[in-house]
A and B are shown apart, each in its own frame.
Chain A
Amino acid sequence: MDLLIFQVPILMVQASLDGILLGILFALIAYGMALQWGVMNIINIAHGDLVILGGYITYFMYLSGIHPALGVIVAPAIMYFVGVGLYKLVINKVVDRDLFISILATFGISILFMQLMNFAFGADVVLANSEFGTTMLFDNSVTLPNSKIFSAIISIIFAIGLVVYMKKSKLGRAIRATAQNARAAKILGVDTEKVYAATFGINAALCGVAGSLVAITFTIHPYMGLPYTIRSFMIVIIAGLGNLPGVAVSGMGLGVFEEFADYILGTEFRIGSVFLLLVLILVYRRFKLSKKREYLK
């Protein structure tokens, strides 16, 4: 326990700003999870590994001399096809089945991805240095790396872009129709198989964007995927499926929580506290619902 943060209030400003910028990025990742959960009714444990894979694409661009900020355009383009490929190979077989089947199957994919990334990219913690510099606020007492601000702005642009795309485009309408009622959509001539593939591709592309931003602002490592999955799951269940402003707010809330946990409990308990928070939130909601003799569905 370290209570320094309460003695030096400026640290709270620092932690909150860091947390909000981080949370916007989490919200983008959670958006992809909400999309696939809502449309295809699967929970993808390999979600976080797709994020890390996107991060490695950016990292390799950085290694070969291209500015990593361009990764936010290249990574989603590549990841879209990875997503569609993954859908065609495995995911299409779990879409209509029990949710646990999708959880366990994607858990297998997650283990596979982790190890393949470990082989291909090595087990080192890496980052793509964007050399954006830092911004100082409040008489140099609060430091904000410009890369974090950049990542928040890009996340917002992509999230808004996707919302608009979902509302206006033909594919977006088809995806929303499938999410409402897959059978009815099929009867009315929507090729649901194609819609599912596109949804998973879009989700993977979002992971690609988020992964590039993670590689620029933080670090990536082949085994770091699962925490991102859990964070997005948590954000989605707090916000509720299909509640996009809720996703943004709970994403930021989670970001701030993590930064404070980091200061108060210490960095070694950071991931642990995220997972514990998930358990506590689920238990809280279970007791709240059980008063009405209901349960989480």
Chain B
Amino acid sequence: MKNNNIILYVAILIFGVLAPFMLPAFKVQLSILCILIVLALTWNIQGGEMGYNSFGNILFYGLGMYICASVQVGMFFPLAEWTESGGEKTFVHSPTQFFQGMAFGLLAAAIVPTIVAGLIGYAILGLRGHYFAICTLGLGVAAGEISGGIEIIGAGQGFTTPPFPDVGSLESRGQFFYFLSFVVLVLTFVAVKSVYSTRFRLVLNAIRDNEDKAEAMGIQTMKYKIIGWMISAFFCGLAGGIMGGLVGYIDSTDVAFDGREMGVFMVLMAILGGKGTLWGPVIGATLFHLFKEGFWTYFLGWQYVALGVLIVVIVIYFPEGLMGWLREKYPEKFGEVVDEADRKAQVELK
């Protein structure tokens, strides 16, 4: 069992490294897939393990996007002039400036959302159930509306991120962003997996199953909830920063704080794969990305109709997701001991 797992991880890692060379036409798609998996994995910490269904993780994603781009520009050029009239035409980042800016930008894009998550987490993680869901929904939309009114980051007309510098080959932009997002994906997966193998996951599950009892057992639930949210925010911010560079253009409500797309996608992907499992979000995100690309390409215009129907169908008929379904079908594979005679008796009863 243990050996099989290692082989699987190595195989995925090798595939991940070779993918942009084997499928050069799909580099951007693969980078987006990595970002989507990161978002689904981090959403799962709240929605799946902790039982706090958040619509607000988009806040950290958008924040990371704006911060990364602002740092990248602001380190070398005046930010206000850049956004005012398409500054990317007047100011040009040299390759060193671009990569330096990106590095510091991503650092800031990870740290600032983490701090923000700690601060607002203390305030709103005391809400429970649907109040938390609606509150985070409000937070995400408010962030989009407010950032759409701030002049220095482009207000309503958007913010163009620095274009990728000319470093010789045409392929390098796609490869750079692919490997960046792949590294972040690997980091996220390792972090989430190692966190889940400690007592932390049990605490989160205790909070999900019965928060009052968890508190009565002496667990400082607020502390764990905030830490969980900060972990999510850290990786969401990174993902947002990369996505900003990849898309090349930031708009407050259509790209950064896009509650109607990314904000719902991350919830949907985790539920589709099976929330509360490690692999569920990964599988869910991959399936969802395939579905999404199909629809966005061949049924352009109808994609939101399809998305709406998909949400309703998944939520109503498959709330446990793919992993939940598999678990019900093959409980032995998930380490549950099943008494064969008992099972047969149940089947006969049905």
Please report A residues at the B interface, Cβ cutoff 8 Å: 43, 90, 93-94, 99-101, 103-105, 107-116, 119, 226, 230, 233, 237, 266, 268-269, 271-273, 275-276, 278-279, 282-283, 286-287, 290, 295-297
Contacts and interface: CB of A to CB of B under 8 A. Distances in A.
A104 B304 contact: no
Nearest to B156: A268
B312 A108 contact: yes
Nearest to B127: A286
Contacts of B130: 43, 99-100, 103
Contacts of A93: 316
Interface stretch (B17-25, B145-153, B171-179): B145-153
Top 9 A-B residue pairs of the complex, sorted by shortest distance between their CB atoms: A112-B308, A108-B311, A272-B145, A275-B142, A115-B304, A111-B308, A268-B149, A99-B130, A278-B138
A217 to B, nearest CB: 22
A282 B315 contact: no
Contact of A100 (B53, B142, B148, B304): B53
Contact of B126 (A114, A268, A295): A295
Given A103-B133, A104-B315, A275 B123 contact: no
B142 A112 contact: no
A231 to B, nearest CB: 11
Given A108-B310, A269-B145, A103 B134 contact: yes
Nearest to B319: A101
B128 interface: yes
B127 A278 contact: no
Contacts of A104: 53, 267, 271, 311, 315
Interface of B: 53, 123-124, 126-131, 133-135, 137-139, 141-142, 144-146, 148-149, 155-156, 260, 264, 267, 271, 301-302, 304-305, 307-312, 315-316, 319
A107 B128 CA distance: 19
B149 to A, nearest CB: 4
27 contacts: A43-B134, A99-B129, A99-B130, A105-B311, A108-B311, A108-B315, A109-B312, A111-B260, A111-B307, A113-B308, A115-B302, A115-B305, A230-B141, A268-B148, A268-B149, A268-B155, A272-B141, A272-B142, A272-B148, A275-B142, A275-B145, A276-B142, A276-B146, A278-B142, A279-B139, A282-B127, A282-B134
A101 B271 CA distance: 11
A237 B137 CA distance: 15
B126 A290 contact: yes
Nearest to A42: B130
B311 A90 contact: no
Contacts of A282: 124, 127, 131, 134-135, 138
A206 B278 CA distance: 44
A226 B155 CA distance: 21
Contacts of A114: 260, 304
Contacts of B309: 108, 112
Nearest to A267: B149
Contact of A296 (B131, B139, B311): B131
A101 B320 CA distance: 11
A84 B231 CA distance: 43
A275 B129 CA distance: 19
B129 A100 contact: yes
A226 B142 CA distance: 12
Nearest to B135: A282
A113 B304 CA distance: 9
A271 to B, nearest CB: 5
